[in-house]
């Protein structure tokens, strides 16, 4: 039995900002798997137990990324203060 750690969504945004590169959905999910692990779960202020895929969907819907679906980056001006 493994203990699962939940990572705050800001950890993903920090990873993207530090990398300073553009992503597409597939490359972002791959980098997330490499950094956080295959079974990682995430949380944000108002949601818990999110998969990597669900977190990316939510952040996309909330306008956290700029660019096109094939080449986007985190937009630091959209980061909340939590």
Residue listed under structure tokens 């952040």: 59
Q: What is the pTM of this model?
A: 0.88
Q: If DSSP states are collapsed to H, E and C, what string results for 10-79?
A: HHHHHHHHHHCCCECHHHHHHHHHHHHCCCCEEEECCEEEECHHHHHHHHHHCCCEEEECCEEEECHHHC
Span 30-64, pLDDT tens digits: 999 999 999 999 999 899 999 999 999 999 999 99
Confidence bin at 76 (pLDDT 50/70/90)? confident
């Amino acid at each position: 039995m493994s203990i699962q750690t939940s990572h705050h969504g800001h950890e993903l945004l920090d990873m993207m900002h530090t990398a300073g590169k553009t992503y597409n959905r597939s490359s972002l999910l791959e980098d997330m798997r490499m950094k956080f692990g295959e079974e990682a779960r995430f949380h944000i202020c108002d949601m818990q137990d999110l998969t990597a895929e669900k977190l990316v969907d939510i952040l996309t819907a909330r306008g956290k990324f700029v660019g096109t679906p094939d080449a986007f980056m985190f937009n630091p001006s959209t980061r909340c203060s939590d």
